[in-house]
Amino acid sequence: MDELDRAILRELQSDARRSNRDVAAAVGVSPSTALERTRALRQRGIIRGATLDVDLAQLGRGVQALIAVRIRPPARPVIEGFRDWVAALPETLGVFVTSGNEDFIIHVAVADNEGLYAFVIDRLTQRREVADVRTSVVYEHLRSGRVEPLG
């Protein structure tokens, strides 16, 4: 990646809906050059898509939590089966497969504390492979809007 690629990435990360013409003007190249470079970034898998940021509270999901889960036995089929199951649940926003004391960190958004309790007790702990669950309520979630390439 050269400096032009980095500049295009910065512009698109600030607003992925910007027109190619606006991106080109911001980085100081012709629209055809910006389009060619953006397409190349997509073809190389550096740009994988764009996401929509929604207000979870306005969607009725005002409570977020990070749930640490330990699985037993720690075998590939058990880990992968749980991963696929929990990722498909409507409450799940993200799944991190981790090392250390926990096998998973699950990011969920639910309506309220009662919904969180039901998710943990009625869904997670009912799974035979779940050995331990620890829940942390998220008070605030700050996200970085930009990721710069290293090197």
pLDDT of 21 strictly over 80? yes
Which pLDDT score is estimated for 43? 97
Whether residues 11 and 79 fall in one domain: no
User: In this structure, are 61 and 32 located in the same domain?
Assistant: no
Q: Are 77 and 110 within one domain?
A: yes
Report which of residues 145 and 114 the model is more confident about.
114
Whether residue 14 is contained in a domain is answered as yes
Q: Are residues 128 and 66 in the same domain?
A: yes
> For residue 80, what pLDDT is reported?
97
Task: Say if 80 falls within a structural domain.
Answer: yes
Q: Which three-class secondary structure state does DSSP give residue 64?
A: strand
95 touches 71 (CB < 8 A): no
In a domain, 50, yes or no: no
Is 51 a member of any domain? no
Question: Is 145's pLDDT higher than 80?
Answer: no
Least Cα distance to 69 among 113, 137, 135, 121 occurs for 135
Domain that holds residue 120: 57-138
**Percentage of residues in the chain with pLDDT exceeding 70?**
100
pLDDT of 31 strictly over 90: yes
Give residue-wise pLDDT tens across range 116-133.
999 999 999 999 999 999
Total structural domains within the chain: 2
Q: Please state, in angstroms and as integers, the Cα–Cα distance from residue 7 to each residue in 32, 43, 70, following that order.
A: 15, 17, 41
Q: Are residues 61 and 91 in the same domain?
A: yes
Select from 21, 14, 19 the least CA-distant residue to 147.
Answer: 14
> What would the mean pLDDT of 32-47 be, rounded to a whole number?
96
pLDDT at position 63 is 98
The CATH number of residue 19's host domain is 1.10.10.10
- Regarding whether 73 and 34 lie in a shared domain, the answer is no
What is the mean predicted confidence (pLDDT) over 5-10? 94
Residue 39 has pLDDT above 90, yes or no: yes
pLDDT given for residue 14 in this prediction: 87
